[in-house]
Amino acid sequence: MTRLRTLALSLGRYLNGVLGGDKYTTYLRHHASTHPEAAPMSEREFWRDYRDWQERNPQGRCC
């Protein structure tokens, strides 16, 4: 049972990374190491900014 649980958690982390769900966590780590004096964006602000960036830079997308 423990092995199945470990496999399920690993699969969940993998899919989260593939689908981009870990982008905000990655942003927080980067922000803390490069701009420790400034407050990071909230998760909502981050996703809004990321979506706007994608609209301005459509390369790598099909539509």
Instruction: Please write the tens of the pLDDT for every residue from 1-28.
Output: 899 999 999 998 898 888 888 899 999 9
pLDDT surpasses 70 at 42: yes
Kindly state the average pLDDT of the residues 28-37. 95
In the prediction, which pLDDT does 16 show? 83
In the prediction, which pLDDT does 61 show? 62
How far apart, in Å, are the Cα atoms of 50 and each of 4, 10, 12, 19, 43? 35, 26, 23, 14, 10
pLDDT surpasses 80 at 60: no
Instruction: Say what the pTM is.
Output: 0.69
